[in-house]
Amino acid sequence: QYEPLLSEKDLTRVAIGDADAGEEGEATRVDSPLPDDLTRDSLELPELSEPELARHYTRLSQMIYGIDSGPYPLGSCTMKYNPKFTEDVAALPSAAVHPDRSERSIQGTLELLARLQDYLGRIGGMDAVTLQPPAGAAGEFVGIRVAAAYHEHNGEGHRDEVIIPESAHGTNFATAALGGYDVVSLPSNEEGRVELEALEAALSENTAALMLTNPNTLGLFERDIEEIAEMVHDVGGLLYYDGANLNALLGRARPGDMGFDVMHYNVHKTFATPHGGGGPGAGPVGVVEDLEPFLPAPRVREANGGDVDYELFDPDHTIGHVHGYQGNWLVLIKAFAYIARLGDDGLADASAKAVLNANYLASQLEYDVPYEPFHHEFVASAGEQDAADVAKRMLDYGVHPPTTKWPEIVPEALMTEPTEIESKETLDRLAAAFNAVAEEGDEVLEDAPDRTTARRIDQTSAARNPRLSWQALTDDE
Amino acid sequence: QYEPLLSEKDLTRVAIGDADAGEEGEATRVDSPLPDDLTRDSLELPELSEPELARHYTRLSQMIYGIDSGPYPLGSCTMKYNPKFTEDVAALPSAAVHPDRSERSIQGTLELLARLQDYLGRIGGMDAVTLQPPAGAAGEFVGIRVAAAYHEHNGEGHRDEVIIPESAHGTNFATAALGGYDVVSLPSNEEGRVELEALEAALSENTAALMLTNPNTLGLFERDIEEIAEMVHDVGGLLYYDGANLNALLGRARPGDMGFDVMHYNVHKTFATPHGGGGPGAGPVGVVEDLEPFLPAPRVREANGGDVDYELFDPDHTIGHVHGYQGNWLVLIKAFAYIARLGDDGLADASAKAVLNANYLASQLEYDVPYEPFHHEFVASAGEQDAADVAKRMLDYGVHPPTTKWPEIVPEALMTEPTEIESKETLDRLAAAFNAVAEEGDEVLEDAPDRTTARRIDQTSAARNPRLSWQALTDDE
Amino acid sequence: MHGSHETGSPYAPHTDDGRTAMLEAVGVETAADLFDIPAAVAFDDEFGIDARTERETRRLVRSVLERNDELTELLGRGHYGYYIPSLVDHLADRSEFLTSYTQYQPEVSQGFLQALFEYQSLLVELTGLEIANCSMYDAATALGEAATLADRVRDTSGHRVLVPDILREGRRSTLENYVAGTDLEVETYPTADGNADLEALEEIVDEETVMIYAENPTIRGTIEENLSAIGESAADAEALFVLGSDPVALSVLQRPADVGADVVIGDASVLGLPTSYGMGLGLFACRDDYLRQVPGRLVGASEDATDRRAFTLTLQTREQHIRRERATSNICTNQAWVALRTAMHAATLGPTGMVELANRGVRRADEVAQRLDDLEGVTAAVHDRHHLREFVAHVDQPAQEVADALEERGFAVHVVGEHELQLCVAGVTDEQLDAFVTAVSEVVR
Amino acid sequence: MHGSHETGSPYAPHTDDGRTAMLEAVGVETAADLFDIPAAVAFDDEFGIDARTERETRRLVRSVLERNDELTELLGRGHYGYYIPSLVDHLADRSEFLTSYTQYQPEVSQGFLQALFEYQSLLVELTGLEIANCSMYDAATALGEAATLADRVRDTSGHRVLVPDILREGRRSTLENYVAGTDLEVETYPTADGNADLEALEEIVDEETVMIYAENPTIRGTIEENLSAIGESAADAEALFVLGSDPVALSVLQRPADVGADVVIGDASVLGLPTSYGMGLGLFACRDDYLRQVPGRLVGASEDATDRRAFTLTLQTREQHIRRERATSNICTNQAWVALRTAMHAATLGPTGMVELANRGVRRADEVAQRLDDLEGVTAAVHDRHHLREFVAHVDQPAQEVADALEERGFAVHVVGEHELQLCVAGVTDEQLDAFVTAVSEVVR
């Protein structure tokens, strides 16, 4: 059922404005103690009461599929259940501190950050961790900037290439470009992994870094990782680990042990902080010892004596800030709480069951899964069907579809990651939805969805005639 | 969409039981450090994980119409918006105290109760207030027991009749009966009010009390209230005010000023504490000075010196407890917060707008409203239509229907109370739903609802073949 | 004007235009004209209650409640601070649950009805009885309702309701009020350390007895060992055997149905609510013989017009809004939302968790009693009886002095005799218990 | 075993039977067999992280965070403790909002898309610019993105990005990182008491300038009085005029579009979030000329197959997941949920409330400055400039000493010069301000 915009709900009260706005409703002047020439004349926004707003947002929430609505098997997105209690700890009044407080007055905050750094270092096998990046892509950016600073520091500022496998996350490419690097794209081999010969060809004295996801986006472990690391290091490059797929490996393998020099963690994936409809997340970055001096400033550490237990400091050759302050603090609290709740056993068990779930689900599907052995996710092929249509149709079966059309190495890809939070019963229900759609014809698929709040939405019209605000709608209609 | 029972969700795990239960699934023995002959053998309940439970209860919540879903014009129920912040204050850790704590360690709790007693006394025009009754009916029971104790104390224990108007809330009758009284039912006059002659006839030396709602369930103010009070008092009876309709009068009239001796307040109606799907509510009782010694024990008051500011005490001739402790404390906090938020102006404004809303809504309806001038609620007549069917059909228009078939004085009654929380726009939408249904034929109405999660539910089958637990379902199917 | 709202209800959405249009439609100048109140009884004064912003109101309530001392509560006796999983708050606070009315329109209330049906089912399993209603106010009022049920269903002309002599005051007094309108009279039978003195009880029971009430665990935290015998006594006298308990205790203790209980009452909110100054949830279950006489609301399964399973309030002809003075109770608003919370809490524990929670109550009571017993000046007689969650300890000093001294150290305990303290371990952490034992050792030294 | 869960993830629902059946279907003995990890890189050690119950974990976090001192924060400078109405928490915490993913399937995400569309509309009104994206991380990263936008759309071959010399370190440094991959260079222009030195600026601007950044209010809480002139300077140089502000300030201050701003950045979470150790919400709005170059996600209106209005992410060809290294930004996960909270907070205030909130910031800053100025040893130069929310005060004593002494008394303030404190009144109650003035009077005495 349709919900009006706030601006439409308030037909009689649309404006706080100057006298001229009178014809549109009651105009509210912007009166201010400031001189007129420093202020605006009017402000036209809806004026609604609390009961009206409560109903508005309640209704909006009812038009959203969340993790508590059912399975959410988006590949590479790691849609885990978000434990409710982590919201409670992030909402503690003692967590609400201003970023410019004195160190001695926020020892609790600094301790939590230091302990989370320590946890993440252990989990990734990394020597030092920064929590500043506010998202995965921001973590990648730190990695790229750290690599640049490192090379610069070593008199190798000429290195201007970053190598990225074709099947990598789009952020890798965009981040390398933002860092000013040329991207060298690396094809996969027949098995869906890095082609060593192609890598050999791509590597050179201009290589700043290779960015790699492991397991890769097909869910396959890069078995040659040791050799890859050696090859990259041999030419003086750094090896970057994209942490989006870390939920496959907890307690089984660590990027640090595989030869990675720098990595990011997606706490909103691996450590179950909520996705929030697209953030906030957090993308902490771990590095090996040699790269520690280049990490963003300021960092947190245990103090060596003095009147505080924890302190902030600037690493010797820091790249500076990548965020105004210390990133998404409230998210980091939740990640800390999740890790502290699960501990060693819980984390390892999460990965084991995530991998089991992916393999079980794949075993129940009629769609072909061309590449294996996969871990926490797999990429099925919709074959003759259009993967995007398959996804739309799955909505009609009351489940969320997988990521589609990517990686392109699999035709009409259905990239599927159920995570550990689904039971066999739910996976069976999900498989039934996949399989039902697999049997259906193009006409049905193209018309889908037809059981959702909104039917298939016209993307072309949205892009051709952009209406990006209610003001634009009013002008338009 | 259907949601399985918890017991059905856990097909493989239904039992914690003895070995015999093996065939039903994995049996969990009840092992205990206690001797076997003092313990049970098995416990068969579902064993589910947090993500499964989160989805279960999320889904259940989606199959409920609440105040944030839309208008909820149940007559005599006063479905107000429940301010969110009152939940926060009731959830304060400092509110969680054990009922047997020492007075000196819960001065905060006692102060809040004392202040709420004071607020309620002012609002109702009463001299003393007890907060113990956990609901409106419990408040009535206190009133009846206080009346009994009062008469007994005055050597008038022979009074064994309670007079109640025909159109009164069902709880009045049941409460009087629970108190051991004979109920004398009072007909209404043509105007829908108390018939003074009938009252005269009903009153006698056996009259313990008259229970009255004002405005009555037709929304009409009992204009003869002074005379009524005098008549009741003349025969030595007490006048009881049923507070269900108090939202009509805030700041305009007070039961105490009308001659009532004892009254209850429904905080879950008048003071916006949430109904919770049927409670918890709270039904504080106010009395005039003469009745104070009979109120339930213990009561709260400001201490007269000593080492505490507030203390508990037993009134001289207390009727004792009507609840194990002090009633629904968490609800009382919310009521206190609501009153403190609105203050004089807010409370008076709430009543004024509640009455305006009722009158405006009635003016927009095609259904006849036989009795007026009404206040916060009115009773329309569905005429030739079946009122219960009208209600079912209104569900199809996405609004909640009014209370139906009561009071019986209006044929096919549609008892409607929009409260002050609805805007003109919402009332117009509600009126449109009423009027659409008014135009529809019996076949449509009898088949309604057809746009809800569940269609019309068979009440007869439920009562003839009672299945009151999932155990009964299993046996049955 | 809502953001900076200064007068009027902040929860009324009326615009000036809207109000004007409405007044016009109704045909009056101001809303005041709609009030039909004789001048003689009109109120033209003020309450003298100041309006506050939301923020100020929150600060007010917080500042008042902060006057409560922060104490570790070892008080028990029906109210325990069991940890409530965060899920319970988050899900029960969804406004659909919190703000909906009683389910008189079941077609738009299926979710709540199902949750209450699941609550009833939980109690059916715990008690072994066939019927559980979907709530009374608390244990005391449930006990009162049990007595009026006994009055309605009694075969004999008797009037005696037997309760233990140590029944807590609030329950006893509430019961007295509930039976005030009947011919019933409340009498007591003797107990020893909480448990029924079986011999004495058997002597007291006669054909005039319509109800025997016992508790398990008893108020002193002991396990009642003679339940079956009490049940037989009741059966012999054709009296109702009413048993008081709670969901955690029922997870491990003898199943009421197995010891002949006709009715089980208690406070079910030991799961689902924190200690809330006595706010509770009246558990009420009974045998299906009383189907037409049971007080309170019942949710039943039925079918909708498409023959799918659906839930509804049922057997409403027992209730006040239909049966009026012949109703089985005057209860209307009950504790539905608390029942939801209790069902949720139980579901998060699962049977394993519930059994473990009860067992911990046995083990830790034992353990702490032992540690206290080891102290000079304290005797915790834990070996003669089995205990759940709580126990009574004898102190050489006056008990009230000890309790006061403990309160100063941050611990709340019961004084139940001149030299007797009652102590409860439920909901208290191991660290808190360690600190408590230390505090006792300092106080009794 | 979930209730008493001891090992494994408490959030994995697997039963023994289920797991067995799944392993069988997959054809392995244990889940470990599914891992295809060469032995040489396998991890067979432990992290050494203990598992905890939910209750223990909550206690752990609480006990750590309790080490933060409770201080009244008068810190401001972009982060304010504005009271957040309870509605915001209750509604934003509904799990549909909190736990959903980016809206790549708009048909089941209409609610979030509409909320983000409303957020964009709020910013369009506040800035007067035609486009607002649905969030960047914070003001600093938004400033960085503005510079890369300037780089992409510049007409000249220039490379100069001009920022005020008092730009806060975090923003400046983040900007430097964002432009590290471009030819741009960050230079400063002089300011006086926060405001741009217009003459100096006009002298510095040349045809090499691609962007001028100014803030209103400035970091010192002053109102920038020469915005139009700065805008003209930028226009003359064909440089982008980027303005930093926030939703509360924009409610009353000159509309950016009216002073020639091409881009507005800032931290929008001054509404919606409490002070959260710097966590923010990057506001990003710009003229519609940059429609194809704007970074970040955009929600647009469209129609569904039944021609009803529907919302969707649009112009995604700008984004990394499609355009890869030619994307307008590398941003993926943004701050959507914070944007929701900001939109909710603004909606609860309404325009009247927003204007009033800003005006209070003017009035109270004035008032408190006046009261401090009246103290011996303090000069609050409030009369030469207009202030919003905060101002700088001169103290005769060393500022750090005063700040330390105030912190001991429970107040956190900024030291911005040897004898300069910066003080912010936003979010602080009247009672707290009274106590603060008293504390200052004691400290400077």
Secondary structure of residue B209 in the 3-state scheme = strand
Q: How many CA atoms lie within 13 A of D172 on its CB side?
A: 13
B21 vs chain C: nearest CA distance in angstroms?
A: 14
Chains linked to D by 3 or more Cβ pairs within 8 Å:
A, B, C
Which token pair is A183? 């991207």
Quickly state the pLDDT bin for C2 (edges 50, 70, 90).
very low
Please report the sign of the dihedral spanned by the C-alpha atoms of residue C314, residue C315, residue C318, residue C323.
Answer: positive
Q: In the CATH hierarchy, which top-level class contains the domain D72-82+349-444?
A: alpha beta
- Lowest-confidence segment of A5-14, A20-29, C20-29 by average pLDDT: A20-29
Per-residue pLDDT tens over the stretch A378-419: 999 999 999 999 999 999 999 999 999 999 999 999 999 999
How many angstroms separate the CA atoms of D117 and D313, rounded? 10
Q: Looking up tokens 């032995």, which residue turns up? A: D39
B51 → closest Cβ in A58, A398, A421:
A421
How many angstroms separate the CA atoms of C327 and A246, rounded? 63
Q: B169 with B311, same domain?
A: yes
Q: In the CATH hierarchy, which top-level class contains the domain D86-343?
A: alpha beta
pLDDT greater than 80 at residue C208: yes
Per-residue pLDDT tens over the stretch B275-318: 999 999 999 999 999 999 999 999 999 998 888 999 999 999 99
pLDDT greater than 60 at residue A356: yes
Which chain A residues are Cβ-neighbours of B59 within 8 angstroms? 69
pLDDT at site D61:
98
Asked if B92 and D86 count as a contact pair (C-beta separation under 8 A), the reply is no
B70 → closest Cβ in A55, A68, A398:
A55
The residues on A that touch C, with CB distances below 8 Å, are 12-13, 25-26, 47-52, 54, 58, 83-85, 87-88
Is there a contact between B51 and A9 if contact means CB atoms under 8 Å apart? no
Question: Which candidate in A29, A48, A50 is best for mutational testing of the C interface (most C CBs within 10 A)?
Answer: A50
The one-character DSSP state at B98 is -
ipTM: 0.96
A340, A371, A393: which is the final residue of a domain? A340
Quick check: is A220 in a domain?
A: yes
How many angstroms separate the CA atoms of C119 and C127, rounded? 12
Is there a contact between D1 and C352 if contact means CB atoms under 8 Å apart? yes
Contacts of B130 (CB under 8 A, 6+ apart): B117, B142, B284, B285, B295, B296, B299
Quick check: is A388 in a domain?
A: no
Asked if A54 and A47 count as a contact pair (C-beta separation under 8 A), the reply is no
Quick check: is A39 in a domain?
A: yes
Quick check: is A448 in a domain?
A: no
DSSP string, A440-461: --HHHHHH---SSSS-SB-HHH
pLDDT greater than 60 at residue A22: no
Which chain D residues are Cβ-neighbours of B88 within 8 angstroms? 86, 89
Which token pair is B251? 């700041």
Is there a contact between A49 and C87 if contact means CB atoms under 8 Å apart? no
Asked if A81 and B54 count as a contact pair (C-beta separation under 8 A), the reply is yes
Phi-psi region of D123 (alpha: psi -120 to 50; beta: other; left: phi over 0): alpha
Per-residue pLDDT tens over the stretch B434-469: 999 999 999 999 999 998 989 999 999 999 999 999
pLDDT greater than 80 at residue B200: yes
Q: B212 with B275, same domain?
A: yes
Q: Looking up tokens 């006893």, which residue turns up? A: C172
Asked if A439 and D30 count as a contact pair (C-beta separation under 8 A), the reply is no
Is there a contact between B50 and D10 if contact means CB atoms under 8 Å apart? yes
Quick check: is A382 in a domain?
A: no
Which token pair is B149? 């104790």
Helices (H), C30-138: 54-65, 86-92, 95-99, 110-127
pLDDT at site A306:
83
Per-residue pLDDT tens over the stretch A86-99: 999 999 999 999 99
Quickly state the pLDDT bin for B129 (edges 50, 70, 90).
very high
Q: A22 with A136, same domain?
A: no
Is there a contact between C37 and B221 if contact means CB atoms under 8 Å apart? yes
CA–chain centroid gap for A34, Å, is 43
A371 vs chain D: nearest CA distance in angstroms?
A: 13
State the pairing for strand pair D298-303/D309-314: antiparallel
Asked if B101 and C75 count as a contact pair (C-beta separation under 8 A), the reply is yes
C18 → chain A, closest CA residue: A12
pLDDT at site D317:
82
Quick check: is A33 in a domain?
A: yes
pLDDT at site B1:
57
How far, CA to CA in Å, does A206 sit from each of A172, A203, A235, C58, D334? 18, 8, 9, 62, 32
Helices (H), B259-386: 267-270, 329-363
CATH T-level topology, domain C72-82+351-444: Aspartate Aminotransferase, domain 1 (3.90.1150)
Which chain A residues are Cβ-neighbours of D99 within 8 angstroms? 66-68, 82, 274-276
Question: Which candidate in D65, D70, D87, D421 is best for mutational testing of the A interface (most A CBs within 10 A)?
Answer: D65
Instruction: Number of A to D CB contacts under 8 A, please give it.
Output: 657
Per-residue pLDDT tens over the stretch D219-243: 999 999 999 999 999 999 999 999 9
Quick check: is A378 in a domain?
A: no
Q: Provide the number of structural domains found in chain A.
A: 2
Domain assignments of chain D as residue spans, ordered by start: 16-65, 72-82+349-444, 86-343
Q: A124 with A39, same domain?
A: no
Largest Cα–Cα distance in chain B? 73
Phi-psi region of C375 (alpha: psi -120 to 50; beta: other; left: phi over 0): beta
Whole-number percent of chain A with pLDDT over 90: 91
Q: Which of D231, D77, D61, D209 is nearest to D147 (CA)?
A: D209
Per-residue pLDDT tens over the stretch C186-207: 999 999 989 999 999 999 999 9
Q: A104 with A35, same domain?
A: no
B340 → closest Cβ in C60, C98, C105:
C60
How many angstroms separate the CA atoms of C153 and C183, rounded? 14
Burial B266-291 (b: 16+ CB within 10 A, else e): bbbbbbbbbbbbbbbbbbbbbbbeeb
Within 10 A of B206 (CB to CB), how many other CB atoms are there?
A: 17
Range of the domain at A333: 85-340
pLDDT at site B10:
67
First to last CA, chain B: 21
Q: What is the mean pLDDT of residues C412-435?
A: 96
How far, CA to CA in Å, does C75 sit from each of A340, B98, B353, C380, D29? 31, 7, 47, 16, 51
Q: Which amino acid is at B223?
A: R
Which token pair is C272? 């689902």
Which token pair is C261? 């209980």
Q: List C96's β-bridge partners, or say none.
A: none
Distant-in-sequence contacts of D356-360, Cβ < 8 A, 24+ apart? D356/C3, D356/C4, D357/C3, D357/D82, D357/D248, D357/D251, D358/A32, D358/D248, D358/D249, D358/D251, D358/D252, D358/D253, D358/D388, D359/A31, D359/A32, D359/A33, D359/D252
B364 φ, ψ to 5°?
A: -95, -5
Q: How many CA atoms lie within 13 A of A176 on its CB side?
A: 27
- CATH (domain of B153): 3.40.640.10
Quickly state the pLDDT bin for C173 (edges 50, 70, 90).
very high
Q: B19 with B92, same domain?
A: no
Whether D72-82+349-444 shares its CATH topology with D86-343 is answered no
A271 vs chain D: nearest CA distance in angstroms?
A: 12
A25 → chain C, closest CA residue: C17
Task: Tell me how many degrees the CA angle D82-D85-D90 measures, rounded to the nearest 5.
Answer: 130
How many angstroms separate the CA atoms of A424 and B367, rounded? 54
How far, CA to CA in Å, does D122 sit from each of A7, A82, D268? 10, 30, 11
DSSP string, D144-155: HHHHHHHHHH-S
Whole-number percent of chain C with pLDDT over 90: 91
Burial B355-388 (b: 16+ CB within 10 A, else e): bbbbbbbbebbebebebbbbbbbbbbbbeebbbe
Q: A202 with A146, same domain?
A: yes
Which token pair is B110? 């006692």
How many angstroms separate the CA atoms of D251 and D179, rounded? 31
Q: B293 with B419, same domain?
A: no
Asked if D70 and D410 count as a contact pair (C-beta separation under 8 A), the reply is yes
B346 → closest Cβ in C8, C117, C182:
C8
Quick check: is A91 in a domain?
A: yes
Q: Which amino acid is at C368?
A: V
Per-residue pLDDT tens over the stretch C62-103: 999 999 999 999 999 999 999 999 999 999 999 999 999 999
How far, CA to CA in Å, does A392 sit from each of A201, A389, A395, D104, D278? 41, 5, 5, 11, 39
Per-residue pLDDT tens over the stretch B210-264: 999 999 999 999 999 999 999 999 999 999 999 999 999 999 999 999 999 999 9
Task: Tell me how many degrees the CA angle A228-A231-A234 measures, rounded to the nearest 5.
Answer: 145
Query: E-strand spans in A225-297?
Result: 238-242, 262-264, 285-287
Burial D85-111 (b: 16+ CB within 10 A, else e): bbbbbbbbbbbbbbbbbbbbbbbbbbb
Task: Tell me how many degrees the CA angle B251-B252-B256 measures, rounded to the nearest 5.
Answer: 85
Low-confidence ranges of chain D (pLDDT < 50): 1-5
Asked if B294 and B153 count as a contact pair (C-beta separation under 8 A), the reply is yes
Per-residue pLDDT tens over the stretch A284-314: 999 999 999 999 999 999 998 888 999 999 9
pLDDT greater than 80 at residue A28: no
Q: Which of D427, D410, C57 is nearest to B92 (CA)?
A: C57
A340, A360, A390: which is the final residue of a domain? A340
Q: Name the average pLDDT for chain A.
A: 94
Q: What is the mean pLDDT of residues B85-94?
A: 97
Which chain A residues are Cβ-neighbours of B71 within 8 angstroms? none
Q: Name the average pLDDT for chain B.
A: 94
Chains linked to A by 3 or more Cβ pairs within 8 Å:
B, C, D
Q: B292 with B355, same domain?
A: no
Question: Omega into A407 within 30° of 0, i.e. cis?
Answer: yes
Q: B49 with B114, same domain?
A: no
Which token pair is D165? 């010399």
Higher pLDDT, A209 or A9: A209
Contacts of C289 (CB under 8 A, 6+ apart): C153, C262
Per-residue pLDDT tens over the stretch C274-305: 999 999 999 999 999 999 999 999 999 999 99
Which chain A residues are Cβ-neighbours of D254 within 8 angstroms? 37-40
How many angstroms separate the CA atoms of B70 and C99, rounded? 11
D421 φ, ψ to 5°?
A: -115, 145
Is there a contact between C3 and D58 if contact means CB atoms under 8 Å apart? no
What's the burial of D57, exposed, middle or buried (CB within 10 Å: 0-12/13-18/19+)? buried
pLDDT at site A65:
97
How many angstroms separate the CA atoms of A49 and A46, rounded? 10
Which chain C residues are Cβ-neighbours of A88 within 8 angstroms? 86, 89
Helices (H), A181-253: 196-202, 225-234
Q: B281 with B203, same domain?
A: yes
